[in-house]
Amino acid sequence: MKSVLITGITGQDGSYLAELLLEQGYEIYGMIRRLSTPNLSRIEHILEKIELIEGDLTDQSSINNALKKSQPNEVYNLAAQSFVATSWNQPVLTGDVTGLGTVRILEGVRHVCPDARFYQASSSEMFGKVNETPQNENTMFYPRSPYGFAKLYAHWACINYRESYGMHSSNGILFNHESPRRGIEFVTRKITDAVARIYHGAAKELRLGNLEAKRDWGYAGDYVKAMWLMLQQKEPDDYVVATGRTHSVGEFAELAFREAGLDWKKYVKTDAKFIRPAEVNLLLGDASKARRVLGWEPEVTFEELVKMMVREDLKRYEK
């Protein structure tokens, strides 16, 4: 039986990836950090089928211990300080976890299990102030936040460990992907959660920042399949994973409110508090390499994604 270590297993992607790999028959180990209240809600339904190991991306010995204990054939590094807005408030922590944390785990793999295949959660945020549209694996990087430049450092670390030590390390340059399990501070979930609260009379308005920003939004359940496919290839490589369609924050809000029979214009207010020091205005990915080499295709459309998220939040508030 193949064994796998997932960092960030308590996050959105970690939970979907763990479900996928359980279906594939993997023995699953997840690295979790100590919190005052455990954050296991996304993996509650599979807790009996996986093993959790305490560890933190800022702590080398706990990472090494997790690798020794799990003896993984595959390692998925999904853990990060992943919220772009917070990265301006906590730039050093973001660099430590999201950037250096990746080097710590690469070092761990190099010493403890050098034959393990490694996946790095790279990000379309690295394209930042985009140099061309759509963005592909050869597009120049121009990060626009401490999160963006921490991910870029991690991205290049992954490539350098591949080239220096012959490690099977791949970067998935994933564009935004969402789901009903998306953290509540990210704009899509903030919107669908607010739609449900407004619908049920628990809120009167929704305050957002830049409504013009455009993102290539896909479904997280589809994107974790691409991660797994990357590690099944003979050779490690880097891949853009995206839908090839882009929509503005305003369009997302309009559709989400409409799904609940509400007019978004009546409820959405703009608030300077949510405007970022520097913005990534437009992301649109070209995933033709992933399609060609991995045979990967997104299955859930933008409209289906919005509907799925709104319906789940409406159900949650009904309860």
Residue 232 has what DSSP assignment? T
CB atoms within 10 A of CB 34: 9
Considering only residues 43 through 82, tell me which ones interact with ligand G4F, judged by CB under 6 A. 82
CB of 96 within 8 A of CB of 118?
no
Residue 143 contacts which entry, ligand NAP, ligand G4F, none (Cβ below 5-8 A, type-dependent): none
Minimum distance, C-beta of residue 115 to ligand NAP, in the bound complex (Å): 24
CB of 188 within 8 A of CB of 252?
yes
SS3 state at 24? coil
Binding residue for ligand G4F (CB under 6 A) from 51, 132, 185, 303? 185
Whether 259 sits among the annotated catalytic residues: the reply is no
SS3 state at 73? coil
Catalytically annotated residue among 70, 123, 145, 169: 123
What are the CA-CA distances from residue 272 to residues 110, 211, 222, 226, 254 (Å)? 45, 11, 34, 36, 20
Total length of the chain:
319
Q: Is 93 in the site for ligand G4F (CB under 6 A)?
A: no
Whether 147 sits among the annotated catalytic residues: the reply is yes
Q: Which of 115/271 has CB closer to ligand G4F? A: 271
Q: Is 158 in the site for ligand G4F (CB under 6 A)?
A: no
Whether 123 sits among the annotated catalytic residues: the reply is yes
Catalytically annotated residue among 119, 147, 219, 223: 147
Q: What residues form DSSP beta bridges with 54?
A: 32
Residue 117 contacts which entry, ligand G4F, ligand NAP, none (Cβ below 5-8 A, type-dependent): none
Q: Is 309 in the site for ligand G4F (CB under 6 A)?
A: no
CB of 308 within 8 A of CB of 180?
yes
Minimum distance, C-beta of residue 124 to ligand G4F, in the bound complex (Å): 4
Q: Which of 1/35 has CB closer to ligand NAP? A: 35
- Tokens describing residue 60: 């080398």
Identify the CA nearest to 241 among candidates 108, 313, 143, 135. Answer: 135
Residue 85 contacts which entry, ligand G4F, ligand NAP, none (Cβ below 5-8 A, type-dependent): ligand G4F
Q: Which residue has the tokens 């455990």?
A: 38
For residue 134, say if its preceding peptide bond is cis, omega within 30 degrees of 0.
yes
Identify the CA nearest to 6 among candidates 107, 120, 139, 92. Answer: 120
Identify the CA nearest to 149 among candidates 85, 188, 95. Answer: 95
Binding residue for ligand G4F (CB under 6 A) from 77, 94, 170, 176? 176
Residue 97 contacts which entry, ligand G4F, ligand NAP, none (Cβ below 5-8 A, type-dependent): ligand NAP
Q: Which residue has the tokens 């990534």?
A: 280
Minimum distance, C-beta of residue 284 to ligand NAP, in the bound complex (Å): 14
Minimum distance, C-beta of residue 259 to ligand NAP, in the bound complex (Å): 21
Minimum distance, C-beta of residue 72 to ligand G4F, in the bound complex (Å): 24
Residue 64 contacts which entry, ligand G4F, ligand NAP, none (Cβ below 5-8 A, type-dependent): none
Binding residue for ligand G4F (CB under 6 A) from 130, 187, 198, 300? 187
Q: Is 197 in the site for ligand G4F (CB under 6 A)?
A: no
Q: What is the spatial distance between Cα 264 and Cα 188, in angstroms, rounded to a whole number?
A: 14
Task: Give the residues lining the site for ligand G4F (CB under 6 A).
Answer: 82, 84-85, 123-125, 175-176, 185-187, 190, 208-210, 213, 215, 249, 274, 276, 279-280, 283
Cite the active site residues.
123, 125, 147
